Amino acid sequence: MQYLKYTPDVEQIQPGEDEDIAAVREIFGEVRSLAFEKHRHGLRDAHAKSHGVLRGTLVVADDLPEELAQGLFSTGGEHPVVIRFSTAPGDIVSDGIGAAFGMAIKVLDVDGEKVLPGDPQPRTQDFLLVNHPTISSGDVHTYRRDQAVLLATSKAPEGVQLAATTVLRGAADALRKVGIDKTGGPAGQAKPHVHLLGETYYSQGVLRYGDHIAKVAAVPVSSRLRAVTGQHVSIREPSAYRDLTSEFFGEQGAVWELRTQLGTNLDQTPVEDASVEWPENATPYRTVATITVEAQDTYSPKRRVFADDELSFNPWHCLVEHQPLGSIQRVRRPVYADSVGDRGHLNARAPREPETIQELPK
């Protein structure tokens, strides 16, 4: 199969992109301000609520074919990882409110030139994944529109947001019965309440993959994870997902496969429209590494504070060989920098990149 070669020309700056990015930065600034006034604590402006923070090991497969042996995956070996599970809103809200899940992976002991400047440069590589293969806001202009809607929605009382979730889920269920799968909005408000650990998580946006371009996914493969895939859960407590994660890893470990889907051409596998699902029948996801997590306390007080107030996950924390691509990724570069800066300032905590896995508290 012929895979698309990466060149800078795979990206095309969108009309009005600078204005759209500036507007998105303002929107997220207001999200952070609202959350701070509510909690008197600086939060992430997206995926603010942690459900669990884990330590694990990523093992890159030996003898990958040339097209897969790129960047971080160019040679086999082991890397410690930190994983954070979350939900999408930029506020601490009840788990009863529909939202997409996030799985952020920070890989440690990664040598090589990084995209972001730093002295010394951190030895980390981040992958930020969500439990849906695409994002409805496929470009920065649509993202600006959708985030403005979400900002207005977030100002509604929590009871109104819960009621909206119920309505959206009912509509989505009706559509699914006739073969139409809609998540009900840019934050996935109509997604059913399912066990977050059984989900497959996707990069949604495109990244450079050495000589190629790709999307990335984390797929649950251990039997206990597969047993909860698609499992509907009853949300009776506002932090039910935290409790599910804690209970699961209090008794057992888990294994995911990290898989990549290589781009073939810009028509079939576009870079500038992240709302397009790349066809797996033309370019399937292929395993490049496994992630193993042992049983552990996923939400100890020290670990929670470290993850929420000091640690940051950013798709631009990456090797040059894995630079994010497309306008939906370009907007994230200044927005994530704004978020980290504000959070550190408001909480009087300097953000840091861990040098060793031992820095993650038990």
Q: Does residue 207 register a pLDDT over 70?
A: yes
Q: Output the pTM of the full model.
A: 0.92
Q: What does the angle CA 190 – CA 195 – CA 197 come to, to the nearest 5 degrees?
A: 120
Q: What are the helix and strand counts (H, E) for the chain? A: 8, 10
Is residue 119 very low, low, confident or very high in pLDDT (cuts 50, 70, 90)?
A: low
- Please check the confidence at residue 169 and state whether its pLDDT lies above 80: no
Residue 208 above 90 pLDDT? yes
Q: Is the pLDDT of residue 254 over 90?
A: yes
pLDDT band at residue 157 under the 50/70/90 scheme: low
Q: Is the pLDDT of residue 58 over 50?
A: yes
211 in any annotated domain: yes
Q: Reply yes or no on whether the pLDDT at 214 is more than 50.
A: yes
The length of the chain in residues reads: 362
The residue behind tokens 């202009």 is: 141
| Residue 17 belongs to some domain of the structure | no
Tell me how far apart the alpha carbons of residues 123 and 116 are, in angstroms, rounded to a whole number: 12
CATH no. for residue 69?
2.40.180.10
Residue 271 corresponds to which tokens in the numbers above?
């870079």
Phi, psi of 7 (to 5 degrees): -140, 160
- Can you state the percent helix, strand and coil of the chain, rounding each to 5? 35, 20, 45
Q: What does the alpha-carbon distance between residue 132 and residue 277 come to, in Å, rounded to a whole number?
A: 10
Domains: count for the chain? 1
Decide: 123 and 110 in contact? Cβ < 8 Å: yes
In a domain, 161, yes or no: no
Compute the distance between CA of residue 322 and CA of residue 70 in angstroms, rounded to an integer: 9
Q: Is residue 27 part of a domain?
A: no
Mean of pLDDT values over 71-82: 98
> Is the residue at 56 inside a domain?
yes
The pLDDT of 159-170, averaged and rounded, is 51
3-state secondary structure of 224: helix
Mean pLDDT of the residues in the chain: 92
Task: Give the containing element (helix H, strand E) for 21.
Answer: helix 17-39
Give the structural domain span for 313.
8-12+47-138+168-331
Domain presence at residue 88: yes
Confidence of residue 190 (pLDDT cuts 50, 70, 90): low
Q: Please indicate, yes or no, if residue 270 is contained in any of the structural domains.
A: yes
